[in-house]
Amino acid sequence: MESIKTSVTNAANYVAETVNSATATTSKEANKEVAKDSNAGVGTRINAGIDALGDKADESSSDAKASAHKQAI
């Protein structure tokens, strides 16, 4: 019974991390567009670029966690 509970927990964590990754990807792409927008101020563009890097790190982290949870199912 414990292995079923563990499998369900890992499946739920896999889904959660997959959603987190998708959210980070969407945010990263939006920030990249702001960073490339020549109509935006320099400070705004720099901040968007920095935010895009953070989103990429979140995306990679969530992908790794999702993969680990998937393998544990």
pLDDT, residue 40, reads 98
Q: What is the pLDDT of residue 1?
A: 84
> For the segment 55-69, what is each residue's pLDDT rounded down to a tens digit?
999 999 999 999 999
pTM of the predicted model over 0.85: yes
Express each pLDDT in 21-46 by its tens digit. Answer: 999 999 999 999 999 999 999 999 99
Quote the CA–CA distance of 38 and 46 in Å, as a whole number.
12
Determine the pLDDT at residue 19: 99
Distance CA 21, CA 25 (A): 6
